[in-house]
Structure 1
Amino acid sequence: MTSAIPSLRTLIVSAAGSASDALRACLADAGCTILAEVAPGPALAAHIAQHRPDLIVLGASSGAGQLASAVALACGTERRPLAVFTSDDSESSIDAAITSGVAAYVIDGLEPGRVKAVLGVALARFRQQGKLLDELSGARTKLAERKVIDRAKGILMARHKFGEDEAYQKMRSMAMNKKLKLADLAQRLLDVEELLDR
């Protein structure tokens, strides 16, 4: 798992604008390619977009939670693995960092022999988080589609005195004939119903 680290294009974001020499050395020893080192601020999103890093490493002696939140916001919808190396052990910072999607939060643990393993775990956790978010998004989409289908089915039942199964089969048949997804057909039926009710 950690064998993928040497190819990681890494951006360092440091609260002080200058990460410790030890952090840079540990990342280099882990085989990371350091693209740049930047400070948080208005240009952070532009730096992330310009460099398109595979990994973002945050260095902060304090305020690590705020820094993580700022970096996550700067990443926008394009999630990236975040690893924090800090001496900030406050519960609020840890909570803020985890809420921001940080995959590794290491307190006073900048040991050259461990960094590669920590980054490997961070990458695995990031992939797992992505999988869970995709599953959640899929479940929400299916639920929303089910609600649209049920509403459209209700309209057919009320207008044409169909039973529930008959309304569903009618919609299914129409969707196949029109080469539409059932949810798309249902949305069209709802749109027509709304138009007729005006």
Structure 2
Amino acid sequence: MPDAPSQGLVVAVAGANSAQAMTIASALAQEADVSFLQEVRSPAIIEAVQKTGASLVLLVSAEADDLLLSTCGEVVAATQLPVVVFAESAPPDTAGQFVRRGASSFIVKGLSADRIMPIIETAMERHRLMSALQSELINSRNELSARKSIERAKGILMKQQSLSEAEAYDSMRRAAMARGLKLAEVAETIIALSGVAGEPRQAGG
């Protein structure tokens, strides 16, 4: 079971009618501060998130239409927060569209007081996991790119300055230490200079 949200949870709710707002307020009374907006419009929601410090956005709509889908994507992109979508009706295959736009949860005809908090907890945990996976993927790509640059720069030094692989690497390492740079940054400089000047200077020079 996901950990309960920490104290200080703030939820921005957009689009709820009076009855839905009462249901949400009742469900979250002991769990979160809730900020209500009448319209489901991206600029207003984003502004509310900034003002309230919301940690989750809840979109409520009678129908899961293109406007709601667009709003969901824009809010996710602008706030990087978990977004939960409640709709009274939705065409087939709609859930996948909302998930691809970044929604952490998409619920049809499920706005009941006893379900709201578990859905929010699950959405927040899913968002944390996806964010962690995305960070790991970005780091892996950066590391792979750095390794490729280092290998390419070593090859340039070996070919153009008649160095062994160990000598080329040591030259780059000393240059990085002397300049307070990462090895990959030195490698990128060598690659750039090789394209401009045809033959780079000694990396440690």
- Same fold by TM-score, threshold 0.5 exceeded? yes
Distance 1:24 1:64 in 2: 24
Match of 2:122 in 1: 121
Q: Mind listing any 5+ residue stretches in structure 1 that lack a counterpart?
A: none
Asked if the contact 2:61/2:87 (under 8 Å) is kept, the reply is: yes
Asked if the contact 2:82/2:103 (under 8 Å) is kept, the reply is: yes
1:79-110 per-residue CA deviation (whole Å, 9 max, x = no partner) reads: 00111112334344211211122112122122
SS at match of 2:63: coil
Match of 1:162 in 2: 163
1:163-183 per-residue CA deviation (whole Å, 9 max, x = no partner) reads: 334322321232223322101
Asked if the contact 1:64/1:84 (under 8 Å) is kept, the reply is: no
Shift of 1:55: 0.8
Shift of 1:187: 1.6
Evaluate the alpha carbon distance shift between residue 92 and residue 165 of structure 1 in structure 2; reply closer, same or farther with a 3 A threshold. farther
SS at match of 2:155: helix
Give the fraction of aligned pairs with identical amino acids, expressed as a percent.
23
Evaluate the alpha carbon distance shift between residue 77 and residue 146 of structure 1 in structure 2; reply closer, same or farther with a 3 A threshold. farther
Match of 2:33 in 1: 33
Shift of 1:132: 0.7
Shift of 1:68: 4.1
Does structure 1 residue 21 correspond to structure 2 residue 22? Answer: no
Shift of 1:23: 4.8
How large is the RMSD of aligned CA atoms in angstroms? Answer: 2.6
Does structure 1 residue 63 correspond to structure 2 residue 64? Answer: yes
Distance 1:151 1:77 in 2: 37
Asked if the contact 1:66/1:93 (under 8 Å) is kept, the reply is: no
Match of 1:187 in 2: 188
Shift of 1:131: 0.5
Q: Mind listing any 5+ residue stretches in structure 2 that lack a counterpart?
A: 200-205
Residue 53 of structure 1 aligns to which amino acid in structure 2? A
Asked if the contact 1:2/1:117 (under 8 Å) is kept, the reply is: no
TM-score (ref. length: structure 1): 0.83
Evaluate the alpha carbon distance shift between residue 50 and residue 59 of structure 1 in structure 2; reply closer, same or farther with a 3 A threshold. same
Distance 1:125 1:104 in 2: 9
Matched residue pairs, number?
195
Distance 1:141 1:71 in 2: 29
Asked if the contact 1:65/1:93 (under 8 Å) is kept, the reply is: no
